[in-house]
Chain A
Amino acid sequence: MLVFAARQSLPDYRVWQNLISWTGLAAVVILLFTGWLNNISVVQEFLGRESRFQQELVKHIFLFGGSVIAGTIIGIPLGIWAARNRRAERPIFYFANITQTIPSLALFGLLIAPLSALSFAFPVLREFGIRGVGAAPALIALIIYSLLPIVRNTFVGLRQLDPAVIDAGLGMGMSRPQVFRRLEVPLAAPLVLEGVRTASVQAVGLTAVAALIGAGGLGWFVFQGLGQAAPDLIILGAIPIIVLALFVDAVMRTIVRVSTPKGLATGTS
């Protein structure tokens, strides 16, 4: 997380950061594959739990990926609604801001009670894995967390548009849907995707905490390690979480860059 924070604070030197972080990682990966590091205890731990590791890694990706996708599907329309309707704006942001201030562990805990009540009332839900603990409350909490950055950026993306651009579009005879499709979507897209990026990176980290309520994921190793006072196990969980966060961040940055219209990119010549 520290690595990530350091990177975040220096956005202007992106090329260098990427170079540094990726060459370092690449070196480690190469060393791992060549067996050079087999004597290190973390690697020993890994070799002993290879299938469990893969299983938790997949679970982790499923949890954060699923929640960000769902958060995007819910968040973008909410953001559009807030930008269009002044009366909807306040309650939407009130909700999104409140949820963001609840500590993640508390939110996971809060969801346990209503979900277990629900699954007791309708046992059929249990067939779909909806219980007080496990993936269901984790997914719901992660979706709620991913909403704020996506809603906020969609809202800002639409609101920051030069009103003259919309006025000119309408004045020249574009229909409302044409203004949306031809002007608002391409002009707001970079900011919306930036919100999705923030939500994704944040979700990778939060998913680790979800292991505490039995959702699994790489956090499982961390908490196992904490419980058994086994630092190697903690590191076995922590390092992949960091790598995953950096990787997701890099992928999303690329997507943001590619989706930025040429005329908007700074320093076009």
Chain B
Amino acid sequence: MIKLEQVTKKYGATVAVNGLSLEVNEGEVCVLIGPSGCGKTTTLRMINRLIEPTSGRILVNGKDTSQVKPEQLRRSIGYAIQSVGLFPHLTVATNIATVPELLHWDKTRIARRVEELLTLVGLSPAEYAGKYPSQLSGGEAQRIGVARALAADPPILLMDEPFGAVDPLTRERLQAQFVAIQQELKKTVILVTHDLDEAIRLADRIAIMAAGKLVQYDTPETTLSRPASKFVHDFVGSDRALKRLSRISVESFIKSAPTVTINASIKQAEAAIGSRRSAWVVDDKGQLLGWIDRTDLSQVSSISEGMVTLESKDIALWQNATLREALSRMLGQGFKSIPVVDEDTKLIGEVTLGDVEAATAEAEE
């Protein structure tokens, strides 16, 4: 889909990008990462010809980009940047409509598309379409920026630290949303970041750059388990094992957990716990309420009396969480097992510390 062949960019005597070759397949997320000044942003901007390479070729869909008019090329490639660059004098709707308007779509089609995109990025069209950029929070602005980049449904998306300028909590939410949107849209994405965790979380393949050169181009798993050089080894850091956990979903580690309903008798509860130390307590709809200890059972007359109440949202994991989140939850709460719930906060099982350890060891191989 996108192919860079021996691309070099020189500024006077300094070489920003040095003989870079890179291929990104259709529907793949390629993350360009490296220390600042490594040429990752320059590389990104050469793809839509905001910067012209000094030598080498860039092919999009097999076509040499230097043969396409820059404006035409850019209208077929979505572009989202860290500082967002929303047009402050235009409404959110007009901002999103930028490329469709450049392509002369008719009004009703544009209006429909704007509504679709706002819904896609999780903002209510009725509330946000008429707002001005100055009225948006950082996270909202970034989402509008992504919506604007997606407006004309380009097959390719270039993103330069699209989640850079927001607080960590918002960033995590935006990343999760990006993963969900990408699963649906299957765009070919090239994303620049300096945040390794972001790269590991989002990338199908990570391109690590240093001093204008590509030093490793692999899946996150391979990059973490088999760094190609000392530089990559140092770059990914000593917590590689921990980082790898954020590539693994808890879904395949969920086991059925001992469960009792709140109305059950003490006897039934004892049977459910068996030889284990505790059981999760749910209501009659299956939603998680808390947990109860085996040793407490003999001293109380009902489950609700002996139960320790839990705030489901503070402790339980969603089924699409990663093992890293599971581990951090376990360490934070001092639990050896963490309940997993579905969208309706219904208990579906648990993940244990033993499973996380096993997964770490396995990935270490």
Q: Which residues of A are interface residues toward B (Cβ below 8 A)?
A: 162, 164-175, 178, 182-183, 186-187, 261-264, 268
Contact = CB atoms under 8 A, between A and B. Distances in A.
A268 B90 CA distance: 13
B148 A172 contact: yes
Of A164, A165, A167, A171, most buried by chain B (CB within 10 Å of CB) is: A171
A261 B85 contact: no
Interface stretch (B23-31, B69-77, B259-267, B316-324): B69-77
B226 to A, nearest CB: 36
Given A164-B84, A175-B71, A183-B87, A268 B132 contact: yes
B124 interface: no
Given A172-B99, A262-B89, 13 more contacts: A162-B83, A165-B85, A166-B85, A167-B85, A168-B79, A168-B81, A171-B50, A172-B79, A172-B148, A173-B71, A173-B74, A187-B88, A187-B89
Contacts of A173: 70-76, 99, 102
B74 A171 contact: yes
Interface string B105-122: 000000000000000000
Shortest 5 CB-CB contacts between residues of A and residues of B: A168-B85, A261-B89, A263-B132, A173-B75, A164-B85
Given A187-B89, A263-B88, A171 B133 contact: no
B182 interface: no
8 contacts: A167-B81, A169-B98, A171-B158, A172-B99, A172-B102, A173-B76, A174-B102, A261-B88
B81 A164 contact: yes
Contacts of A187: 88-89
Most buried by A among B48, B89, B132: B89
B333 interface: no
B224 interface: no
Contact of B83 (A164, A182, A183): A164
B102 A165 contact: no
Nearest to B48: A171
Contacts of B99: 172-173
A74 B36 CA distance: 44
Contacts of A263: 88-91, 132-134
B209 to A, nearest CB: 21
B86 interface: yes
Contact of A167 (B50, B72, B133): B50
B87 A172 contact: no
B54 interface: no
A177 to B, nearest CB: 11
Contacts of B90: 261, 263
B61 interface: no
A173 B48 CA distance: 9
Contacts of A262: 89, 132
B319 to A, nearest CB: 37
Contacts of A175: 71
B74 A172 contact: yes
A162 B72 contact: no
A167, A262, A263, A268: residue with the most chain B Cβ atoms closer than 10 Å? A263
A268 B131 CA distance: 10
Contacts of A186: 89
Nearest to A189: B89
B127 to A, nearest CB: 14
B295 interface: no
Contacts of B75: 172-173
A42 B91 CA distance: 55
A158 B83 CA distance: 18
Contacts of A168: 79, 81, 84-87, 145, 148
A169 B102 CA distance: 11
Contacts of B79: 168, 171-172
Contact of A170 (B50, B84, B91, B134): B50
B268 interface: no
A172 B103 CA distance: 11
Given A164-B84, A165-B85, A264-B88, A172 B50 contact: no
